[in-house]
């Protein structure tokens, strides 16, 4: 029986292992002092915060030199690598090394964010919501005030300004970021070495991956001058060391009610897995047809398989009675406390409101996923077409009335994506669009009137071919023209893909409106619960992850598995031994370069290590730092028992997995001959 820690019932400061994705403006100083005799000073926190990077493509990273050098995972950088690749240069598979500054390649649409400040704007947001407003009116009012705060902040500071919803609606904080959009690729290993062991070893430990990728931030055409960067530890951490993780966990669901978790378990996760399994089979089969197909689908296939294995693990967590029973017991106990408390009745009623909203959302979730989440239209072209269509409609509205992604404060990021020169492959587009239209028809029924209009008298594959062959949204100049021309230009283009997006837009928007209304209702209910929890249990806690900067705290520690001790470190030696034991067969093969140079590395150098830091997807690429704030490793995964951390943390077996900083130094020098990069890591200055 696994012990699951449930923050819901944990009084502050109780011994609660290393759970927590802490806000940088509400760090657990007392706990750190008590448990680890560590004093987290403002300066220490500020330096770490400003060294940490968010990859807007999904992931984390950190600055490691004063000259803009930064590090993340290969699998975070793979999106950029894929977009830069050509039939002649497969950077994802073969890696990349810029031997001189001139060879550093500019990424096509990569945006990095560095958090400058956090401001609690909860009172201002809540004050703007009329009393007794319907959920729909409350949502509109909240959207308006958030857009206003963001725009005001952007105008005042020039910084990217996002109001973040915390505690499922219990608080609203304004996050201001410095943006970097001239980001250049400096170094990537071959994917096989970054992802040695492939899908079989993904989310497993022991592990042997050099999952790193180096970029350099530029400003005004020159390497950015960076004040806050992490000093690189050439030796890495030791067993039992206290290590921190500063990164951007994308989302967790620990505060969800049992009703919400049940809906995830029985509907949302099985549906997502159905789509992912389907897409994985489709991409595997297509990739097997030719080397060029495999190159084109490479990053998409990695992403799909990675998500599939992660969701399998999460679903297994929800299907583990130990976890779910603990959740039910915790909720029942807290409700009993509420029932006994004078101020508890609103929070008690909130549970029913959440259950009611969850039921409504469940009733429309398949359609919502197919239409608004566009899972029935899996193609880049459809996304571009819909963005153009909606940009035309939304941008003429007042800032506070628009769909969130079209607000003034997000304009630059929206345009970066919309005008990206990334390659779009018609054959792959036809494949995924045709398959997703088939999925749509299967889910909605072939006689559904909207499905019939979508297919327009053709089979899904014929229709996909026709759409992709005839749309012009693949052309960046065409997109720019329509975006600048607004709704009139969009309508005048009569582009078939845009017209398809228009055909389904009423349905999509109706589904989204209901989604937003019910989400607002849930947020208000969660806010009531959060208020009662803080009153009853104290406020020293952390909210669910929201792809914003968090601090995790843990120690380098092995664990027991089936009665066997799993030590916390692997080494270059265990990597070579594993490849040999598997006869160098994929996915356990060393690349030719590694085969040639394997004797150069010290077999005792640590390669990967595990720690008890509380992380989740989005933390990939997060720096791991020691007490001195030195970079000792980089998060790239969690093990299988960590996957249910989406719902509850347990350090019985769950672990974060990192590449050791010692391995990075050694591989750059001895395998890749990148002495200048090695030097830049160790000195914090580019020798170039």
Interacting residues toward a copy of itself by CB under 8 A: 198-200, 262, 265-266, 269-270, 273-274, 277-278, 280-281, 284-286, 288-291, 305, 308-309, 312, 315-316, 318-322, 324, 438-439, 441-443, 445-447, 455, 457-462, 582-583, 585-587
Q: Cβ closer to a copy of itself: 153 or 262?
A: 262
Joined together, the tokens standing for residue 119 give: 């401001």
Tokens standing for 267? 């509907």
Tokens 């968010």 belong to residue: 54
CB 437 within 8 A of CB 445: no
Residue 319 beta carbon to a copy of itself: minimum distance, rounded to whole angstroms:
5
The b/e string for 269-303 (b: 16+ C-beta within 10 A; e otherwise) is bebbbebbebbbebbeebbeeeeebbbbbbbbbbb
CA distance 232 to 229: 9
Shortest separation between residue 321's beta carbon and a copy of itself, angstroms: 5
Which CB sits closer to a copy of itself, 237 or 644? 644
Return the closest-CA partner of residue 24 out of 43, 55, 46, 2. Answer: 46
Rounded least distance, CB 131 to a copy of itself, Å: 37
Q: Closest by alpha carbon to 171, among 127, 121, 135, 118? A: 121
In the bound complex, what is the minimum distance in angstroms from residue 285's beta carbon to a copy of itself? Answer: 5
CB of 258 to a copy of itself, least distance (A): 10
Q: In this complex, which beta carbon is closest to a copy of itself, that of residue 317 or of residue 633? A: 317
Closer Cβ to a copy of itself, 307 or 364, answer by number: 307
Q: How far is the CB of 410 from a copy of itself (least distance, A)?
A: 36
Rg, Å, the chain Cα set:
25
Q: How far is the CB of 607 from a copy of itself (least distance, A)?
A: 20
Of 291 and 352, nearer to a copy of itself (C-beta) is 291
CA distances 120 to 172, 175, 389, Å, are 6, 9, 35
Contact between residue 526 and residue 354 where contact means Cβ atoms under 8 Å apart: yes
Least Å distance between CB 278 and a copy of itself?
5
* Cβ contact 516:508 at 8 Å: no
Torsion of Cα atoms, 417 then 421 then 425 then 431, to 10°? 10
Q: Is the CB of 13 or the CB of 285 nearer to a copy of itself?
A: 285
Whole-number Å distance between alpha carbons of 53 and 570: 27
- 184: helix, strand or coil: strand
- Closer Cβ to a copy of itself, 54 or 314, answer by number: 314
Which of 440, 490, 495, 491 has its CA nearest to residue 469? 495
Q: What does the alpha-carbon distance between residue 292 and residue 487 come to, in Å, rounded to a whole number?
A: 38
Q: Please report where in the chains the tokens 């390669």 appear, as a residue.
A: 607
Residue 92 or 301 with smaller CB distance to a copy of itself: 301
């Amino acid at each position: 029986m696994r012990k699951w820690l449930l923050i819901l019932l944990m009084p502050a400061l109780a011994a609660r292992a290393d759970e927590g994705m802490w806000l940088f403006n509400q760090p657990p100083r007392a706990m750190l002092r008590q448990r680890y005799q560590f004093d987290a000073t403002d300066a220490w926190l500020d330096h770490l915060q400003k060294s940490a990077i968010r990859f807007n493509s999904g992931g984390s990273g950190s600055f490691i030199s004063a000259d803009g050098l930064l590090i993340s995972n290969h699998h975070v950088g793979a999106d950029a690598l894929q977009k830069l690749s050509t039939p002649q240069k497969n950077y994802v598979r073969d890696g990349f090394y810029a031997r001189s500054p001139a060879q550093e390649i500019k990424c096509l649409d990569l945006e990095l964010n560095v958090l400058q400040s956090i401001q609690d704007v909860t009172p201002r947001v809540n004050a703007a919501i009329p009393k007794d407003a319907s959920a729909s009116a409350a949502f509109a009012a909240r959207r308006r005030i958030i857009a206003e705060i963001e725009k005001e902040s952007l105008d005042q500071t020039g910084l990217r300004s996002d109001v973040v919803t915390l505690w499922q609606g219990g608080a609203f904080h304004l996050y201001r970021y410095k943006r970097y959009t001239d980001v250049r690729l400096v170094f990537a290993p071959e994917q096989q070495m970054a992802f040695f062991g492939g899908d079989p070893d993904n989310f497993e430990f022991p592990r042997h991956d050099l999952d790193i990728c180096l970029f350099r931030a530029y400003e005004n055409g020159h390497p950015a001058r960076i004040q806050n960067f992490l000093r690189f530890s050439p030796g890495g951490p030791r067993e039992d060391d206290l290590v921190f993780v500063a990164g951007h966990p994308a989302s967790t669901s620990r505060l969800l009610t049992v009703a919400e978790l049940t809906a995830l378990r029985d509907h949302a996760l099985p549906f997502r897995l159905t789509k992912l399994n389907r897409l994985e089979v489709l991409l595997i089969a297509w990739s097997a047809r030719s080397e060029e197909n495999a190159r084109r689908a490479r990053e998409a296939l990695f992403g799909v398989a990675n998500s599939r294995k992660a969701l399998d693990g999460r679903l297994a967590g929800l299907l583990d009675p130990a976890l779910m029973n603990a959740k039910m017991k915790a909720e029942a106990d807290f409700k009993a406390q509420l029932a006994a408390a004078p101020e508890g009745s609103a929070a008690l009623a909130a549970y029913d409101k959440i259950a009611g909203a969850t039921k409504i959302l469940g009733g429309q979730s398949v359609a919502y996923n197919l239409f608004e989440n566009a899972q029935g239209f899996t193609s880049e072209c459809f996304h571009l077409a819909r963005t153009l269509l909606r940009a035309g409609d939304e941008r003429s509205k007042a800032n506070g009335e628009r769909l969130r992604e079209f607000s003034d404060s997000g304009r630059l990021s929206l345009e970066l994506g919309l005008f990206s020169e990334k390659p779009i492959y018609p054959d792959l587009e036809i494949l995924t669009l045709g398959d997703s239209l088939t999925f749509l028809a299967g889910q909605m029924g072939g006689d559904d009137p909207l499905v019939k209009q979508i297919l327009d008298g053709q089979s899904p594959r014929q229709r996909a071919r026709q759409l992709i062959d005839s749309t012009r949204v693949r052309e960046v100049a065409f997109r720019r023209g329509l975006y600048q021309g607004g709704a009139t230009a969009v309508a005048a283009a009569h582009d078939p893909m845009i017209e398809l997006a228009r055909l389904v837009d009423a349905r999509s928007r109706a589904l989204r409106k209901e989604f937003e209304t019910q989400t607002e209702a849930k947020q208000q209910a969660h806010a009531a619960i959060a208020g009662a929890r803080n009153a009853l249990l104290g406020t020293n806690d952390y909210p669910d992850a929201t792809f914003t900067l968090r601090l995790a705290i843990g120690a380098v520690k092995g664990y027991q598995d089936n009665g066997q001790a799993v030590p916390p470190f692997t080494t270059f030696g265990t990597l070579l031994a594993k490849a040999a034991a598997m006869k160098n067969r994929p996915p356990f093969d060393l690349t030719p370069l590694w085969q040639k140079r394997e004797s150069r590395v010290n077999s005792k150098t640590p390669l990967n290590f595990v720690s008890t830091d509380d992380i989740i997807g989005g933390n990939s690429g997060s720096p791991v730092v020691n007490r001195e704030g030195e970079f000792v490793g980089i998060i790239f995964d969690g093990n299988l028992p960590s996957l249910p951390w989406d719902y509850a943390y347990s350090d019985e077996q769950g672990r974060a997995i990192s590449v050791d900083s010692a391995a990075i130094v050694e591989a750059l020098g001895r395998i890749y001959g990148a002495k200048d990069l090695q030097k830049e890591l160790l000195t914090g200055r580019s020798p170039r």
